[in-house]
Structure 1
Amino acid sequence: MTMNRNTTKAKLGRSVQVRLVADLKKSQAYYRDVLGCTVDDWGHAERDELLFILQQAMSPDDVKPNRVSRKRPDYPTDWEGPEHAWDSFIYISWEDLDLYVEEVRARGGIIAIEPFVGAHGKWEFKNAYIQDLDGYNLVLGAMREVAAG
């Protein structure tokens, strides 16, 4: 049987992010008790559609959160890229963003950057940065179309 490559595409499944962490037990507790994830002994940390696999790093030197990216002048709007590093970008509704930040704050979480609002072209965005114990930035992001005025 021959496959026509022009019409047949493989379907990809859910993407899962893997995190090397300095202390697996502490990270599992943080993702469970602070971020509100269900965490199993394998290191799976899951909440709604979010899923991480936490793995013990061989050395703390192996834990390497992303650094800030280079600015890019060729985006479709005047935005040139984030001001801070992103390790995960998590889509969230406009209303739920503040609710989740307060939930994490109440549980003693690290709010690295408080919610802020900006605009790109016809879109308004709201972001907040939550960090885990290893300094990985979980960026919460909400967008909505700006009402024509």
Structure 2
Amino acid sequence: MNEQVAEVSTNRRARFGQTIQVRLVSNLKKSQEYYSDVLDCKVDEWGHAERDGMLFILQQAVSPDDVRPNSTSKKRPDYPTEWEGPDYGWDSFIHVTWDDLDTLVEEVRGKSGIIAIEPFTGVHGKWEFKNAYIQDPDGYNLVLGAMRQIND
């Protein structure tokens, strides 16, 4: 019987659960207010900041030196299209619909949020993309990204 149990468990593929990004922040209260008031997240006393499918855990850094937004990544010539990688650092990439991207940017702008890079478009093979960068008080870039297939 034990051999059967072992056999069944080895055939089962374990699953990962929801991924939640953790942000070390320089001022927890200020970050909680920004994510709540500007990004319209539901923020709890634990530091969870959530809106739709976007979820972060904000945690107070021990030192401001511990707050490290991502640098720009190295360019790669081996992507499946002519794109070689982003020109700026990405800390989070958030998929949004084409129509929602501009609306979200204006919503954040209207609440005095930081629009680090205005919406821009480009092409990757048969796909058109539109991105915009929103920045939080510690300089983390939240990249809003939309794609749609180019109709021939």
Which range, TM-score by smaller chain? over 0.9
Question: AA paired with 1:37?
Answer: C
Structure 2 equivalent of residue 25 of structure 1: 29
Letter in 2 for 1:145: Q
**Aligned partner of 2:150 among 134, 143, 146:** 146
- The normalised TM-score by structure 1 is 0.96
Gaps of 5+ in 2: none
Aligned-partner residue type, residue 149 of structure 2: E
Task: Structure 1: state its 5+ residue gaps.
Answer: none
Aligned pairs (5 A) from 1:1-149: 1-3=5-7, 7-148=11-152
TM-score by length of structure 2 reads 0.95
Question: Could you say which structure has the higher helix fraction?
Answer: 2
Identity of aligned residues (%): 68
Equivalences, count: 148
Query: Which amino acid is 1:16 matched to?
Result: I
Larger Rg: 2
Q: Structure 1 runs of 4+ off > 2 angstroms? A: 3-8
> Once superposed, what is the RMSD of the aligned Cα atoms?
1.1
Change (3 A) 1:75 1:39: same
Q: Give the SS at the match of 1:27.
A: helix
1:7 Cα shift?
Answer: 4.5
- Deviation readout 1:36-90 (Å, 9 max, x if unpaired): 1000000000000110000000000000000000000000001000000000000
